[in-house]
Amino acid sequence: MPPQRDHTTFTTDAAAHPSDTPPVVAKSNPWMALSIGLLGLIAGYVVGAGVHPSLSAYVAPSPTAQAPTAPTAPAQPTPPAATAPATGVGPTLGKADASVTIVEFTDFQCPFCSRHFQQTFRDIKKNYVDAGKVKYELRMFPLTSIHQNAMAAAEAAMCANAQGKFWEMHDTLFSNQGTWSGQSDPTATFKTYASDAGVNAATFARCLTNHTTQAQIQKDMADGSAAGITGTPGFWIEGPKGKTQLVSGAYPYATFQTAFDSMLSS
């Protein structure tokens, strides 16, 4: 920007007024001097405006407050809809051709699974399974991250199943959960339970040592996860005409009774 001019004292341009011809000012007329001064002020303003026309017209814009833009959340993939698992895979109770099947995914060390066994399972078995209306199937879902003996208990149950004694071991494990769940190594206890159930001790011991049933248990867990099981106990109830219902948690008997009756009446 060019240097600012002082509009108080009017100065002439050297090109218009050569130095060898000094300007003549009439000293006898003070009004003339005043007029010349006013003309100088006006001329200075015009010259200044002519050099920088934008200065006289420029008005600084007022800053406008902008609301912060909320970050856009990345699109989340839609999880696939859970579907009922295949049946006829795990140990079962009841008539093979029962109209309704309930598949339970269980953890023998889970206290809520024990609650289901103590408060609900027996009534379901008595009123629906033994009556030929419902088939009950068990699948393994040991929560190994929080239950240190859950996998060992699942293996014990499935090793007993290999000798046709699953439900005896199932009932014993839940009835004595408080005994073995806190043990650092419950193997000896499980062998005792198996012996009491009438299994061959040597065959049962080899099954535990070789982890013979672990692959089957891992498949149960994978099938459960695919079916939307995230905790235990978890249930899928399947009825005629493709009706299904997922029940997550140790719900009271009335919940299952309602589900069974609804499917059986359809």
| Band of pLDDT at residue 266, cut at 50, 70 and 90 | confident
Pair 247, 222: CB distance under 8 Å: no
Pair 160, 199: CB distance under 8 Å: yes
Please name the residue that has the structure tokens 């494990």: 173
Contacts of 197 (CB under 8 A, 6+ apart): 160, 165, 168, 169, 172
The string of DSSP letters for 94-130 reads S-TT-SEEEEEEE-TT-HHHHHHIIIIIHHHIIIIIT
| Band of pLDDT at residue 179, cut at 50, 70 and 90 | very high
The Cα–Cα gap between 174 and 74 comes to 45
Query: Above 90 in pLDDT, residue 92?
Result: yes
Query: Above 60 in pLDDT, residue 52?
Result: no
Neighbours of 10 (CB within 10 A): 16
Find the mean pLDDT for residues 37-53.
45
- Tell me if the bond preceding 111 is cis, omega within 30° of 0: no
The CATH number for 92-264, chosen from 3.40.50.2300, 3.40.30.10, 3.40.47.10, 3.40.50.970, is 3.40.30.10
The Cα–Cα gap between 113 and 234 comes to 9
Query: Above 90 in pLDDT, residue 100?
Result: yes
Give me the sheet containing 134-140, strands edge to edge: 92-93, 134-140, 100-106, 234-238, 244-248
The Cα–Cα gap between 95 and 26 comes to 133
Contacts of 135 (CB under 8 A, 6+ apart): 87, 92, 93, 94, 95, 96, 98, 100, 101, 102, 129
The Cα–Cα gap between 207 and 210 comes to 5
| Band of pLDDT at residue 26, cut at 50, 70 and 90 | very low
Q: What is the mean pLDDT of the chain?
A: 80
Range of weakest confidence among 44-53, 95-104, 143-152, 211-220: 44-53
pLDDT for the residue numbered 81: 65
Task: Name which residue leads in pLDDT, 2 or 61.
Answer: 61
The Cα–Cα gap between 258 and 266 comes to 13
| Band of pLDDT at residue 88, cut at 50, 70 and 90 | confident
pTM equals: 0.70
| Band of pLDDT at residue 48, cut at 50, 70 and 90 | very low
| Band of pLDDT at residue 80, cut at 50, 70 and 90 | low
Which amino acid is residue 122, in one-letter code? R
pLDDT for the residue numbered 242: 87
Rg (CA), the chain: 46
Query: Above 70 in pLDDT, residue 197?
Result: yes
Domain layout of the chain by residue ranges: 1-56, 92-264
What is the sign, positive or negative, of the torsion defined by CA atoms of 39, 44, 50, 53? Answer: negative
Contacts of 248 (CB under 8 A, 6+ apart): 229, 230, 231, 234, 235
Residue 64 has which token pair? 């406008």
The string of DSSP letters for 26-64 reads -TT-HHHHHHHHHHHHHHHHHHHHHH-HHHHH--PPPPP
